[in-house]
Structure 1
Amino acid sequence: MNKEILALEQNNTWKLVDLPAGKKPIGCKWVYKVKLKADGSLERCKARLVAKGFNQEYGIDYEETFIPVVKMSIVRCLIAVAASKNWPLFQLDVNNAFLHEDLKEEVYMKVPKGVSNPGNKVYESHINIDSVYVDDVILTGTNVAKLEDLKKHLHQEFSIKDLGTLNYFLGIEVGYTADGVILTQKNFTRELLQGCGFNIDKRAVTPLPMHLKLSATEGDVFPDAEKYRSLVGKLNFLTQTRPDLSYTVQTLNWASCLDSRRFISGFVLLLGGSPISWKSKKQGTISKSSAEAEYRAMAAATSEFTWIVNLLEVLGVTNLEVSGMV
């Protein structure tokens, strides 16, 4: 907690002032997080101070919000390029990160409990502190010396912790072999299966029969709706390293979804032999024919393909050859 307060003060996030007449400060809260290592053991505990932005009203306290979030396909693409070029992969942990954007509105926040405040003052925010906290950073490149200089610069700006070689990122385990880099979620998968009461000693080639079609009106209703949503969310997260769970090779059969009569688009993009982007998603509208559905699927795949090619050009990978599209 003391490190969080110190980091916020060093970044000139706010200043202590007397609350002006007619103004009402918003509250704040501490958010605690336990960060684990790849083997599930404790790495460290972290504390974040966040403003209670849900007390603010649109049009009065703020006009718009925008939070850029990295796509997992970017992470996989970056790691694939680094592995093919034998670039080193490093990981940083940002002690305190937020959007560096000056506020036009006046925002006053109460001083959190545990912080000395004898004058009963409030914080006047200079930059937006109610935003996404970015914890993990991946660094790679050809020049190790320049990477070290970049680490020093980032530490001066944000206060970071150098975690060394990349081995555990966003819940994904990173392993290294002579052939390249392997991304897995073994511990997460094991915990997921054990939480569902499955015997993890038994394995199956495919989680479900290939041509199985499910309907919302068939079968018994799951008794715990909250647990069901939690399991679905965990399975979605598991698809970050398991494209087979996304049905990316699924054939576009007529009326693949029995309830909505909509097709399911699926694609997978490979860089060399490495899958870097994939998706399996029900189409937004009903197609009148299988040809129309296939064109929609091709459009979605082409859009992602074009975006990936532009990303690779930024990373210095050019003269790509397309081996085929299915």
Structure 2
Amino acid sequence: MDCEASQYVFYEGKGRNIELKEVQQQQVHEPEVEETPQVVEENSTDLETQPLRRSTRERHEPERYGFLVTTHGDVILVDQDEPKTYQEAMASPDSEKWLEAMRFEMDSMSENQVWTLVEPPEGVKPIGCKWVFKKKTDMDGNVQTYKGQLVAKGFRQIHGVDYDETFSPVAMFKSIRILLAVAAFHDYEIWQMDVKTAFLNGKIEEDVYMTQPEGFVTPENAGKVCKLQRSICGLKQASRSWNLRFNDAIQEFGFIRNEDEPCVYKKFSGSIVSFLILYVDDIVIIGNDVPTLQSIKTWLSSCFSMKDLGEAAYILGVKIYRDRSRRILGLSQSTYIDKVLKRFSMEESKRGFLPMRHGISLSKGMCPSTPQERERMSQIPYASTIGSIMYAMICTRPDLSYALSMTSRYQANPGEGHWTSVKNILK
């Protein structure tokens, strides 16, 4: 496949100024896609006189990220052919690796004493759980580890009964960009850590009961349920419980929480400066003194099960390039952009020059006006495409802001002209 789509955002320190430079490299070729809209045979007079009723067309399961549905109805796993259920994992060629990943997850549950097996309480219906499988890749898209995560079906929880507060903050990416720019200007160290099974560190106060994980039910405990002592992924209060636990631990070490950005922490001691950024279970540590940063790592490792990732190279799907001799730091989402292009069959499209050309005007008049047009546009993943582009815009592509703000206004009822403008952004 002759496809290259990459971009970088460079922070360069010169004197007292920080300059933002953007370099764009895109070489893609557009395929000729022949689209055949469905033909709906209806009496025109009936359409004018009869009220609009629910569509009788066949409904399909919504398209998920990483899946494509062909015109023949075949489902293709675009990303990494990850199983969706326990049965699929056990039937896949990588069943041994998936089983090992699940065993590792169960060992973590046991070590952290996440639950105790009890008899089902009378009148209480336990929530379910499921396995979620993911192949974790490196910055180049190569598979590094197989991960099997046990997720509770928190949508069955009842407010006021088994959960209350759910809000939990995460660091905004603009805050990460600002601190990376500061680090590039002052030549600070940028280190990264990952919290293993982060949510298991949070304690829950409510009584929550869960069914036992599929594939790990022993005959002697077949009729019992899990009474949760700690939060696990999927519970409505899980993220909040973990955030409160981490906040207490890091403030105990002397860090001060930023009032406007609750997931950014700072610590000053004379000329020694340290910053810490938390995004769920990803931690970025920035500072100008190596022994101090090492002591932060040691403290975190004593409080939680941590993985030291060394110098930051890949943060939230964004690749970091750094030239410390020139004090330049670059950000790239090339891997993510390639996935988005492939997902929407645009990996072979011709290269574009501007997100939105001069003279392009979008309006409600371009929305579908006939049942045939509405039927055809209902098959177009317009809103999904807008959402995929938006993440790139927030992280590394602010030049897409205007084009995205114009096209996103018509997500409720997009027309052909609107969709063409979105495809131009992808180009």
TM normalised by structure 2 equals 0.53
Give the deviation of 1:211 after TM superposition. Answer: 5.1
Return the letter of the residue paired with 1:142: N
Give the deviation of 1:107 after TM superposition. Answer: 0.7
Q: 2:284 maps to which residue?
A: 138
Is the contact between residue 112 and residue 200 of structure 2 (CA under 8 Å) also seen in structure 1? Answer: no
Give the deviation of 1:210 after TM superposition. Answer: 4.1
Q: 2:185 maps to which residue?
A: 84
Give the deviation of 1:231 after TM superposition. Answer: 1.2
**Cα deviations across residues 36-77 of structure 1 (Å, max 9, x unaligned)?**
111111121222212111112223332331122221112112
Is the contact between residue 96 and residue 158 of structure 1 (CA under 8 Å) also seen in structure 2? Answer: no
Q: Which runs of 5+ in 2 are unaligned?
A: 1-101, 243-279, 368-372, 412-427
Is the contact between residue 4 and residue 95 of structure 1 (CA under 8 Å) also seen in structure 2? Answer: no
Q: Distance in 2 between matches of 1:215 and 1:53?
A: 41
**Cα deviations across residues 245-279 of structure 1 (Å, max 9, x unaligned)?**
0129x9xxxxxx899xxxxxxxxxxxxxxxxxxxx
- SS in structure 1 at match of 2:214: coil
TM normalised by structure 1 equals 0.68
1:48 equivalenced with 2:149 (yes/no) = yes
1:229 equivalenced with 2:383 (yes/no) = yes
Change in 2 beyond 3 A, CA 1:9/1:154: farther
1:15 equivalenced with 2:116 (yes/no) = yes
Q: 2:90 maps to which residue?
A: none
- Within the candidate set 207, 212, 218, 2:360 is matched to 212
Return the letter of the residue paired with 1:192: V
Give the deviation of 1:164 after TM superposition. Answer: 1.8
Percentage of matched positions with identical amino acids: 37
Change in 2 beyond 3 A, CA 1:76/1:16: same
Q: Distance in 1 between matches of 2:229 and 2:410?
A: 53
Q: Which moved more, 1:235-244 or 1:55-64?
A: 55-64
**Cα deviations across residues 55-107 of structure 1 (Å, max 9, x unaligned)?**
12223332331122221112112211211121121222222012755433211
Q: 2:214 maps to which residue?
A: 113
Q: 1:293 maps to which residue?
A: none
After superposition, the CA RMSD in angstroms is: 3.1
Return the letter of the residue paired with 2:195: V
Q: 1:169 maps to which residue?
A: 315
Q: Distance in 1 between matches of 2:227 and 2:331?
A: 44
Q: 1:103 maps to which residue?
A: 204
Give the deviation of 1:188 after TM superposition. Answer: 2.0
Q: 2:225 maps to which residue?
A: 122
Q: Distance in 1 between matches of 2:185 and 2:116?
A: 48
Give the deviation of 1:185 after TM superposition. Answer: 1.0
**Cα deviations across residues 187-242 of structure 1 (Å, max 9, x unaligned)?**
22233334444466854331211453312431666635562222111100110200
Q: Distance in 1 between matches of 2:136 and 2:362?
A: 37
1:192 equivalenced with 2:340 (yes/no) = yes
Return the letter of the residue paired with 2:229: H
Return the letter of the residue paired with 2:391: F
- SS in structure 2 at match of 1:247: helix
Change in 2 beyond 3 A, CA 1:51/1:197: closer
Is the contact between residue 94 and residue 160 of structure 1 (CA under 8 Å) also seen in structure 2? Answer: yes
Give the deviation of 1:115 after TM superposition. Answer: 2.4
- SS in structure 2 at match of 1:217: helix
Q: Which moved more, 1:57-66 or 1:30-39?
A: 57-66
Q: 1:4 maps to which residue?
A: 105
Q: Distance in 2 between matches of 1:258 and 1:235?
A: 15
Is the contact between residue 11 and residue 158 of structure 1 (CA under 8 Å) also seen in structure 2? Answer: no
Q: 1:292 maps to which residue?
A: none
Q: 2:56 maps to which residue?
A: none
Q: Which moved more, 1:3-12 or 1:31-40?
A: 3-12
Return the letter of the residue paired with 1:238: A
Give the deviation of 1:13 after TM superposition. Answer: 2.6
Q: 1:238 maps to which residue?
A: 392
Change in 2 beyond 3 A, CA 1:208/1:159: same
Q: 2:75 maps to which residue?
A: none
Q: Which moved more, 1:12-21 or 1:219-228?
A: 219-228
Q: Which runs of 5+ in 1 are unaligned?
A: 251-256, 260-326
Give the deviation of 1:168 after TM superposition. Answer: 1.2
Is the contact between residue 190 and residue 200 of structure 1 (CA under 8 Å) also seen in structure 2? Answer: no
Q: Distance in 2 between matches of 1:190 and 1:104?
A: 44
- SS in structure 2 at match of 1:44: strand
**Cα deviations across residues 301-326 of structure 1 (Å, max 9, x unaligned)?**
xxxxxxxxxxxxxxxxxxxxxxxxxx
Is the contact between residue 129 and residue 150 of structure 2 (CA under 8 Å) also seen in structure 1? Answer: yes
Q: 1:273 maps to which residue?
A: none
Q: Which moved more, 1:77-86 or 1:118-127?
A: 118-127
**Cα deviations across residues 151-209 of structure 1 (Å, max 9, x unaligned)?**
23333433222222211111111111233211111122233334444466854331211
Q: 2:88 maps to which residue?
A: none
Is the contact between residue 175 and residue 182 of structure 1 (CA under 8 Å) also seen in structure 2? Answer: yes
Give the deviation of 1:119 after TM superposition. Answer: 2.5
1:160 equivalenced with 2:306 (yes/no) = yes
- SS in structure 1 at match of 2:168: coil
The higher relative CO (CA closer than 8 Å, separation ≥ 6) is in 2
Q: Distance in 2 between matches of 1:95 and 1:74?
A: 24
Q: Distance in 1 between matches of 2:309 and 2:199?
A: 20
Structure number with larger C-alpha Rg: 2
